[in-house]
């Protein structure tokens, strides 16, 4: 009897073979540093700085500072505060992303203005960005307070064009590189181009601290201000006094211990994801109707391929397609944990094509996690009234796009099995 195949997940956390994560966590307990500060936090920040400041071409190091925080969402929140975003302000943010890119804007009483994508990287379209800036200035009498481009699935955005536009109008950039840990543009790490750069160490990211994130700052002054806000904005008195609203956003010393160990395998993880992407591209190149999302031919682009994304032509028929969206989903799709909000209908006015949903279900039956791409934020009910500037690219991609496993536990044999399963799913 053949051994039963385990479920192949998109990106599982993978600890170092040397078990360094356990070593540093044990040190935290042994020394009673079980608090949101401590030696592991400090050391993890230094490790991240060394990585973020390095250039792949060997040119002069950068001098960015890193502040470790409780989540990537917290990093976005504090970055917006650092940009001076206040109630009533507008922030331009990529629509094709996860909600953590836009929700913190609303935390501050500000308004997200969504910007659509261009079709090559799937990230913020520079032409739409400039159009949005000019239109918001005409409509509101003032410029947006910040720009938030996103490295969707680790793909670098059009950094040179976006930064040029941002500099032209004097608007600070918060790079959401939560999915782009280790992706580079022109040899420089994503998250180091703007005023701030957001990193995430959630359980399914390139490296993990279980939960957690970090903010890359351009200088020590900005880093100190962010750290002050992240530790309840306490003033320097021998008693507790506060002149600003702060937050309990500092990373746990225990979680940072995991991060220190993870830094020793970061480069290996990045190399593995790139290898898996290349294997998918090769094995799927002759499968009609299935197209891997590739990075631009421009050599400056160096994606980490956190997840490997693909599209499925609308006319491709998938087994079981006639049953797509017939039943209400009972649990969260995509490995999400926690409580989900029950719904009465299986359909919405903006959803993946029936063949994409059928493929997800078919692959699940093969013990393969196959997730839809992010639903554009401007099509989310919670943002129904938000301004949006789009050519419809991200809406089209949402209808046909899906994500395939790419994490460190995904073997070459797994990839071949996944590709064979896709071929099997297609009705000839």
| 21-44 confidence digits (pLDDT tens) | 999 999 999 999 999 999 999 999
Distance of alpha carbon 104 from alpha carbon 381, whole angstroms: 17
Distance of alpha carbon 225 from alpha carbon 231, whole angstroms: 10
Across-strand partners of 35?
37
Residue 130: pLDDT over 90: yes
8 phi-psi bin (left φ>0, alpha ψ -120 to 50, beta other): beta
Residue 337: pLDDT over 70: no
Residue 1: pLDDT over 50: no
- Which tokens is 215 given? 């903010």
Q: Range(s) for CATH 3.90.1150.10 in the chain?
A: 267-425
The total number of residues written for the chain in this structure = 428
Q: CB within 8 A of 355, min separation 6: which ones?
A: 312, 314, 316, 317, 318, 321, 324
Q: How confident is the model at residue 335 (pLDDT cuts 50, 70, 90)?
A: low
We find that the CATH architecture of domain 267-425 is Alpha-Beta Complex (3.90)
Q: Range(s) for CATH 3.40.640.10 in the chain?
A: 20-264
Q: What is the pTM of this model?
A: 0.96
Tell me 375's DSSP state: P
| 6-25 confidence digits (pLDDT tens) | 999 999 999 999 999 999 99
The domain made up of 20-264 has a fold known as 3.40.640
Q: pLDDT at position 57, please?
A: 87
Distance of alpha carbon 231 from alpha carbon 114, whole angstroms: 31
| 171-220 confidence digits (pLDDT tens) | 999 999 999 999 999 999 999 999 999 999 999 999 999 999 999 999 99
């Amino acid at each position: 009897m053949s051994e039963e195949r385990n479920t192949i997940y998109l990106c599982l956390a993978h600890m170092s073979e040397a078990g360094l994560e356990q070593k540093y966590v044990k040190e935290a307990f042994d020394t009673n540093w079980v608090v949101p500060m401590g030696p592991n936090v400090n050391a993890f920040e230094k490790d991240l700085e060394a990585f973020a400041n390095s250039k792949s071409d060997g040119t002069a190091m950068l001098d960015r500072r890193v502040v470790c925080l409780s989540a990537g969402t917290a990093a976005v929140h504090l970055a917006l505060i650092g940009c001076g975003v206040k109630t009533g302000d507008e922030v331009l943010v990529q629509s094709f992303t996860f909600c953590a890119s836009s929700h913190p804007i609303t935390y501050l009483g500000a308004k997200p203005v969504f910007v659509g994508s261009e079709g090559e990287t799937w990230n913020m379209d520079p032409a739409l960005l400039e159009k949005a800036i000019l239109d918001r200035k005409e409509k509101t009498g003032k410029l947006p307070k910040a720009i938030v481009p996103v490295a969707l699935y680790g793909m670098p955005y059009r950094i040179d064009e976006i930064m040029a536009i941002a500099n032209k109008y004097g608007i600070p950039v918060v790079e959401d590189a939560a999915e782009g840990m280790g992706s580079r543009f022109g040899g420089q790490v994503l998250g180091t181009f703007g005023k701030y750069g957001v990193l995430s160490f959630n359980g399914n990211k390139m490296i993990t601290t279980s939960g957690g994130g970090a903010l890359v700052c351009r200088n020590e002054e900005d880093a100190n201000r962010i750290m002050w806000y992240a530790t309840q904005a306490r003033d320097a008195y021998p008693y507790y006094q506060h002149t600003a609203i702060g937050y309990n956003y500092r990373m746990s010393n225990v979680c940072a211990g995991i991060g220190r160990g993870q830094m020793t395998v970061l480069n290996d993880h990045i190399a593995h994801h790139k290898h898996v992407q290349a294997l998918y591209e090769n094995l799927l190149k002759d499968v009609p109707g299935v197209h891997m999302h590739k990075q631009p031919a421009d050599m400056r682009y160096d994606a980490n391929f956190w997840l490997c994304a693909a599209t499925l032509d609308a006319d491709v028929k998938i087994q079981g397609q006639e049953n797509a969206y017939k039943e209400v989903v009972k649990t969260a799709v995509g490995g999400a944990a926690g409580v989900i909000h029950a719904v009465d209908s299986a359909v919405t006015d903006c959803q993946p094509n029936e063949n994409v949903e059928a493929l997800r279900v078919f692959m699940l039956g093969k013990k393969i996690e196959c997730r839809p791409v992010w639903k554009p934020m401007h099509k989310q009910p919670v943002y129904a009234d938000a301004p949006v500037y789009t050519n419809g690219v991200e809406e089209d991609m949402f209808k046909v796009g899906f994500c395939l496993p790419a994490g460190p536990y995904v073997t070459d044999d797994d990839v071949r099995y996944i590709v064979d399963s896709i071929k099997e799913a297609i009705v000839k």
